[in-house]
Amino acid sequence: MSIQKIKDHLRNIPDFPQEGILFKDITPILENHELFTATIDIFYEALKGFNPDVIVGIESRGFIFAAPLALRLNASFALARKSGKLPYKKVSAGYALEYGKDSMEMHIDSIKENQKVIIIDDLLATGGTAKAAIELVKKLNGDILAVAFMIELAELNGREKIDPIEVVTLIQD
């Protein structure tokens, strides 16, 4: 299956969650077994050469891709969650969204020193969320191999916040 067929099933929702934002809705892909499987397969082919120890999924839509990829890549799965959602000792990092501010956390034992890490989220926009996840992994002394996204909104220049870490995207929009 082609990336174009997957891209054709993205749904654009104007003015969500607030006016001026064009939300990229991935649910039509997730609700179609063939498209979702193809998306995971394409991610797997793009990431298997990195040989990661840990896949970090960014809340919440990053979890959707990170968990099956962790299984396929024989890696553990770690959560990067919004503040206040994790019960154990944690590290935290703040970030700006294109429509506000937030922070995320990870358990202090999610990543062991020098473990090889890939961070996954559904969308790269301004890069704030990814930058915060990178900061969390660094606080836990992980070795970041790449940051991967299903969709990249290239015009927002999110890669600049992530540089020099390698960025893998399936769809540029």
98 flagged as catalytic? yes
61 flagged as catalytic? yes
DSSP at 79: E
b/e map 59-74, b = 16+ CB within 10 Å = bebbbbbbbbbbeebe
Residues 6+ apart with CB under 8 A from 161: 126, 127, 128, 130, 131
Candidate list 11, 59, 81, 98, residue with the active-site label: 98
| Among 99, 29, 93, CA closest to 61 | 29
Integer CA distances (angstroms), 110 to 2, 16, 147, 171, in order: 34, 32, 17, 29
Candidate list 61, 81, 105, 152, residue with the active-site label: 61
Active-site residues, by number, are 61, 98
